[in-house]
Structure 1
């Protein structure tokens, strides 16, 4: 693995405001493309000198490019060309609700189609003969799993980080999920906040968040406060119903994933039920699991020891994938 110095707690903000910002402003090239239905989605490409492979990064719910600046920096410094698309309804991509901080999707098949169109229109024309890997987090991890099941030949290998295989508190019978979705449509609530969801709150703290690293949480929150495009926050009825259906489908069809797969899970995850990982693992017995017992949902924003181990594991896994792809 390339020798990379991972940021700690004390040097994070200074590095992000100076070296990382200068790097991102210079190297991250942004663009937009029309997805399969005409929705315009923003994306970024970041290309090091003589890249050794390409990676598509798929983010999670309520996330955006700025949240991944540290992560993408490490991938770049390790020699990987990165493609990052803000999923519909997120960041500067189209598809927002009338209340722009509420997240809606009709079906995860739409996310999958968006990803496939992005790969065909943007990634593959700029791939050359380099191998292509996937890194996907949370909601993106569920989307990524569904994509791998439908398009088994696109990627050479994949890493799913805290993938949304089963949301806590969402263990409803399939018929009830369908009825909730029908109720939301009939009452016009599909794009309204689901129960227990909230609008963007600029005063939230790290205490009850998915992160442990306070500097990282504050840095990302400052980006959200400053830019309304980054304030996506609460799940709609429609998103919740689509997510429950998607996670069950991802587990059911997991046996269709034939490429090398690594799954990274958090021990203090308040969003994901570990039973989903167990069910997923039964259907993909060859998958390698890394467990980070002290981490909350966002392992890349965990405590310093866990976080540095996570990034080490990510880069080591990618280099292993690269060696196997040669």
Structure 2
């Protein structure tokens, strides 16, 4: 498929991509999942989602569309992100024949918030993310997949959540792409074990909803330093969406989010949990990742394989964390591998990690 021209990125997104997505989009709301291992919420609220119908997209006769329905893909995005950020990726999935369903995680986008500060992300229990994504996939996702396969695309935090769903719901997804998944987060130069102990203490003192020291509110200023080597056109477009939409300005972790992210990490890496995974996985790793740690991703791959699971491991050594923000020559390879995996038979690579 032809990638969006970086030199005309804003124009093509505005004139071609966004109108087409709007024409095949369904907006909806879902009640949060209830699970025996989760406490009841005083104000459960509702979770926002966007779904894109491949049949309606095909009616638009866009250039490059396969006009072959392949199923549905559920997108589970990363920390402080939103559904709009994935517009370009959604466009490519639709061109390849997939309907796409995107749940906005609790505390993100237009979904319910549990803290007054709109810049802060808080969650009471990591299992809530997992239960909500599982419910969304088995209700909304399967409806869009029909009698065709349902895949998962999980990035960063959303990839960590997705990995936990694969461990708890081994037959829910047919295939899963985990792109730089948060098997373990980077904790500002502090070892994860130290950060875990410190966050437990702070939360125990009643400061779990406070913004982590050093984390900042969204200001509208764009610092390109963390994105060196990425496509500036893509990064600036993503940033502009946040500037234009107040609901997209989450920017900082709470102490309780850090605590739960590290609890999630320990659960994902449990060898018995890894052995429960049956879904074939394509895992991508970025060599210049500053947000999630590479070695826990490697350990996850080894433990899933040791448990009998199938994982294809691909490393992009010169990529930043958001591989989908890289220039077109990198994306051509990245998306080529994604669609070869989703569209074709599962053939494990003889790779190392």
TM-score (norm 2): 0.85
Q: 44-53 or 100-109: which moved more?
A: 44-53
* Gap change, CA 1:317 and 1:120, over 3 Å in 2: closer
Which residue pairs with 2:49 in the alignment?
Answer: 43
Q: How far apart are residue 113 of structure 1 and its match?
A: 0.9
Identify the residue that residue 9 of structure 2 maps to in structure 1.
12
Distance change in 2, residues 1:321/1:106 (3 Å): farther
Q: Is residue 2:219 matched to residue 1:201?
A: yes
Q: Could you list the runs of 4 or more consecutive aligned residues of structure 1 that deviate by over 4 angstroms after TM superposition?
A: none
For residues 164-183 of structure 1, the aligned pairs below 5 Å read: 164-168=182-186, 169-173=189-193, 177-178=196-197, 180-183=199-202
Which residue in the other structure is 1:259 paired with?
279
1-structure distance, mates of 2:81, 2:222: 16
Superposed displacement of residue 297, structure 1: 0.3
Whether the 8 Å CA contact 2:199–2:256 is kept in 1: the answer is no
For the pair 1:287 / 2:319, whether they are aligned, the reply is no
Calculate the TM-score normalised by the size of structure 1: 0.92
* Counterpart Cα distance in 2 of 1:86 and 1:55: 15
Cα distance in 1 for residues equivalent to 2:105 and 2:164: 15
Unmatched segments (≥5 aa) in structure 2: 35-43, 56-67, 348-353
Deviation at 1:312, TM superposition (A): 1.3
Alignment of 1:137-148 (within 5 A): 137-148=155-166
- Is the contact between residue 122 and residue 254 of structure 2 (CA under 8 Å) also seen in structure 1? yes
In structure 1, how many angstroms separate the alpha carbons of the residues matched to 2:161 and 2:320? Answer: 21
What is the aligned length? 319
Deviates more, 1:188-197 or 1:138-147: 188-197
Q: Are residue 316 (structure 1) and residue 316 (structure 2) matched?
A: no
- SS of 2:72's equivalent? strand
Q: 2:139 is paired with a residue of what secondary structure?
A: helix
Q: Distance in 1 between matches of 2:312 and 2:227?
A: 27
The residue that corresponds to 1:107 in the other structure is: 125
CA deviation string 1:241-278 (max 9, x = no partner) = 11111112111122221121110010111112211122
Name which structure has the greater RCO, CA cutoff 8 Å, separation 6+: 1
State whether residues 122 and 209 of structure 2, in contact with CA within 8 Å, keep that contact through their aligned partners in structure 1: yes
Give the CA RMSD over aligned residues.
2.0
Q: Which runs of 5+ in 1 are unaligned?
A: none
